[in-house]
Amino acid sequence: MPIYKTLEQELTSLFEQLKNNTENFSKLEPEIICSNPRTIGVFRLLLRKSLNEMGQLLNRSYATVSQYERGKIHSIPIGEAGKMLEAIKQRMPHDPNLSLLTGSFLEFKDKSRGGTMQALKRAEKMEPTTQERILSKYLTQMGVPFRQHVTLDTEIGPLNFDFQIKESIIVECTASKSKWKAESLGYRAIKAREKYPQMKIVALVPKSVNDGFRRRLRDFDLIIELENESSLLPLVDLLFTKKSKSDKEQRRAEFLSNSSNRTMG
């Protein structure tokens, strides 16, 4: 069954449960969101808000809102749930009904499809960043096959990734230290792993990111703080993990010899 049809059916079922348990949305309590964060998806569509807009309303990133809706986060502290519900109640429509929910769902589905394809086309034509140039230079020197700005299918539709190496490694690059960027990358790693569990997922991040940033990247197999070309050494080990010990040592020596040790600006 197509994923959008399944989502629509799940949301419809959740809407009916909420309607029955709250006397047609007249008695909303924090426990509703606290015990089942997926209900946020129903409220978001009744409020006709995108993931970004709902995130702004609830003081959360769009990736966290998406995790609520997909059941990846199983509960929310009661105090936080209460604040979220108050923000939602202030904007609830006078007559929350199933037609409003399904209409919003179809509207956002169409926007998502069109916007996603345009975004993917732009991403595939983007100029490489400094991090991407360093990685691309190394891979080219070592004769390692790779694709850059590659679009891969996932359970939520196509996503664009910075690198796919040897058909077995996905690499995402960022120069940002923002927790919102880290959450976005973490969400993308989850989606990639669900679809391609055999692949290793690597993040190239700036030097000295904090523990909070790293926690949000817990679904990556390898996190590299990229200061210069020598920083890529852990990736070399991952690329040639199936080689013999002598071959791996030779690859490491070649890498260190070729590395310019140029510090990133």
Structure tokens at 44: 């978001």
The residues with which 161 forms a beta bridge, in sequence order, are 150
pLDDT along the chain (265 residues), means of 10: 60 92 93 94 92 91 87 92 95 90 76 48 59 87 87 80 92 89 86 91 93 92 88 86 72 69 45
pLDDT at 153: 84
The domains found in the chain, sorted by start residue, are 3-115 (no CATH), 126-258 (3.40.1350.10)
Q: What is the pTM of this model?
A: 0.56
Give the span between the Cα atoms of 218 and 209, in whole angstroms: 14
